[in-house]
Amino acid sequence: MSKILIDIRNRVISCVNCSLSKSRTNAVPGIGNEKSDVIFVGEAPGRNEDLQGKPFVGTAGQILSEALEFAGFTRDQVYITNVVKCRPPNNRQPNTEERDACRSFLSEELKIIKPKIICILGNTAYSSLLDGNSITKNRGKLVKNNDQLYFVTVHPAAIIYNPALRQVLKDDFVLLAQTLDKLRKGLDVEISK
């Protein structure tokens, strides 16, 4: 891991920028391949992530891994992180203050890794990164903002409540993999307006 990513990781682990630092067991820095062309961004750690200090290791993580494998990715190949690095109590959504307190960590991760595509997992990442209310209009699509490409899909935890979304996530990841492949080859990709 590069020095700068280790430095971010250490600052996340010791962060006391918001009150979530008082209730967390562990802060959860991003994990994975810093040379990845794609970064997956979730909402915030859940219970298992808080206990282990790693992102997406609980039920939502298993669903994420399954969909990644379906599309030909391995977890080691990609970089996985969250908008907010500490677990909000009772798994509530992180509030504006908590997102703002954590914002610089994600910005730094993105600046260092410079992914071709940022894959947005669900509404919290969507509103934090693209300022949108609901992913519905752009789900399964590639969006460009300030010269950065984003691919928008459902949060893996949504599948726990709506099993029909399992195949949606898998198919979206296949499309994401195909899009990355085209970008690597310098081919045109379809960008949603």
Residues that bind ligand URA (CB under 6 A): 42-46, 49, 55-56, 60-61, 82, 157
Q: Identify whether the C-beta of residue 81 lies closer than 8 Å to the C-beta of residue 40.
A: yes
Could you tell me the smallest distance in angstroms from the CB atom of residue 128 to ligand URA?
11
The residue among 49 and 172 lying less far from ligand URA, judged by its C-beta, is: 49
Query: Which of 153, 146, 149 is closest to 175 using CA atoms?
Result: 153
Closest separation in Å from C-beta 149 to ligand URA: 21
Closer residue to ligand URA (CB): 32 or 61:
61
Q: How many CB atoms lie within 10 A of CB 94?
A: 24
The rounded distance, in Å, linking the Cα atoms of 185 and 88 is 41
Least Å distance between CB 182 and ligand URA? 28
Whose Cβ is closer to ligand URA: residue 17's or residue 49's? 49
Give every strand in the sheet of 148-153, ordered side by side: 31-32, 79-82, 38-42, 117-121, 148-153, 141-145
Least CB distance to ligand URA at residue 184 (A): 27
Q: Which is nearer to ligand URA, 32 or 45 (CB)?
A: 45
Q: What is the DSSP letter of 192?
A: B
**Which residue sits closest to ligand URA, CB atoms considered?**
42
